[in-house]
Structure 1
Amino acid sequence: MTMNKLDATLDDVQNTRFGNIYHDLIKQMAKTTQFTEGEVSSILMVYHKFVLANGSKAKHMTKKQFFHLFLVLFKIFDLQIIERILLHITLDMKKEVDAVAWVRLFSVFMTNKLDQKIKFTFQIYNIHGNGFLNREIVQHAVEKFFVGEDEDEVNELRSDMVDLLFKKFDVDKDGVISFDDYSQVVMKQPMLLEFLGQCFPSIIGTTVIALCANIMSKVNFDKPCS
């Protein structure tokens, strides 16, 4: 695959440097994701430009850039969810985001497989990593949905919503929402996928980044705008 003309905004030296840096990773990620080598190259070129913005000696995207991308382009404003997504794709909370994590992120965001989206979203919500969502987790998420000056009214609305969600999602009525509970409900009603907060970009944000990364064929236009 020829790399030296991949991006017209970079000179030949920069294009060649990109090829030298990412050649092996492109082949690796094309084997382990739904993307072709050309698509991985385009995704990594976007990543590479974030890296270049950090100076000639930079090697990675920063967490600040990552958060900014979510807040401005993806329109995901829950900082805890962004942190959980970062932890999920990097497996730690380092100050930088490497290229593998970047491709892994797009592999999840661009999938059309509902079961993969369900698995990803539940992992983001499951902050304790114990395989279920208890009332404390759901209550914490619901608190962000209701605000107002009348504290008693707000608390009542939050409590009612928690009860409603458990009535819907606690399929086996054991007092917690397990992955199986959540999966059963969402497989029947996909609109409930992000019931505790947005984890995927809006279709507008996805389209913009897909255009930049030249992976429009991977955008699922059936997903409603968030």
Structure 2
Amino acid sequence: MSLDATLDEVQNSRFRNIYNQLVKQYEKKSQFNEVELFCILLVYHKFALRNGIKAKYITKKQLANVFEVCFKISEVFTVERITSIIAKDTKKEIDPMGWLNLFEVFMTNDLETKMKFCFQVYDFHGVGGLNREVVTKYVEKFFKSDDEDEAGELVVSMLDLLFKKFDIDKDGVISFEDYSTVVRQQPLLLEFLGSCMPEVSNLTTVAYCSNVLSKITDFDKSSE
């Protein structure tokens, strides 16, 4: 079966041969069905072909462009954090598994998965907790002002408010347990330190473009 009319029979066959085993393994744990996984990987494959007919991977620069154009996420530090989580290495290339991981997280309806991902993005030291120094780096981005004293006061006030809300055990660190307890009760606080997941409207567009049909209805309902 040909998935893409822009690829000839030989290219479609090569595509199937490259990704068939990965799809079989990944489907066992995925929210996507077999056809959807092939469609998601076909997008990846066509990006990879931009790097040469025999290229197997996309570059981090290409992924950053996808974030900006398709998912509307352009903040450099956030993109780097997401990339490090889904790619799990520091190479210049993003492998097909990393690409699938990205779609798996971005398109999930599972709050637990979303919480784990967002907390990983925020926890840039990878220590399993957000201390006052870490939270300050995020909060400072919310208050840009020529008046440094005023901005400083706003930052301190916001820090106090966030730790009062999220630091349930009052140990000076927002643990994942603290964070998840609050977010389960108030899901709108999922991205409390800044956006790290696409808006539903952008996900809907990507779902249409990548032919992930099972998600389109879900996204349409979420946007109502």
Q: TM-score, normalised by structure 1?
A: 0.93
When structure 1 is superposed on structure 2, of 96-105 and 149-158 the one drifting more is: 149-158
Q: Structure 1: where are the runs of 5+ without partners?
A: none
Distance apart, 1:9 and its partner CA: 2.0
What is the distance in 2 between the residues matched to 1:37 and 1:154?
51
What is the distance in 2 between the residues matched to 1:100 and 1:7?
21
What is the distance in 1 between the residues matched to 2:48 and 2:94?
10
Aligned residues between the structures: 222
What SS does structure 1 have at the residue aligned with 2:28? Answer: helix
Deviations 1:41-79 (A, max 9, x none): 000001011101112132101000111111222111222
In structure 2, the partner of 1:94 is 91
Distance apart, 1:20 and its partner CA: 1.3
What is the distance in 1 between the residues matched to 2:133 and 2:201?
33
Deviations 1:146-191 (A, max 9, x none): 1121111111111111111111111111111011100000001111
Distance apart, 1:211 and its partner CA: 0.9
Superposition misfits of 4+ residues, deviation over 4 angstroms: 222-225
In structure 2, the partner of 1:132 is 129
Question: What are the within-5 Å matches in structure 2 for residues 29-108 of structure 1?
Answer: 29-108=26-105
Asked if the contact 2:64/2:74 (under 8 Å) is kept, the reply is no
When structure 1 is superposed on structure 2, of 69-78 and 137-146 the one drifting more is: 69-78
When structure 1 is superposed on structure 2, of 88-97 and 78-87 the one drifting more is: 78-87
Question: What are the within-5 Å matches in structure 2 for residues 1-226 of structure 1?
Answer: 2=1, 5-219=2-216, 220-221=218-219, 223=222
Q: Structure 2: where are the runs of 5+ without partners?
A: none
Asked if the contact 1:186/1:192 (under 8 Å) is kept, the reply is yes
What is the distance in 1 between the residues matched to 2:69 and 2:148?
31
Asked if the contact 1:86/1:93 (under 8 Å) is kept, the reply is no
What is the distance in 1 between the residues matched to 2:98 and 2:20?
16
- % same residue: 57
Distance apart, 1:224 and its partner CA: 5.8
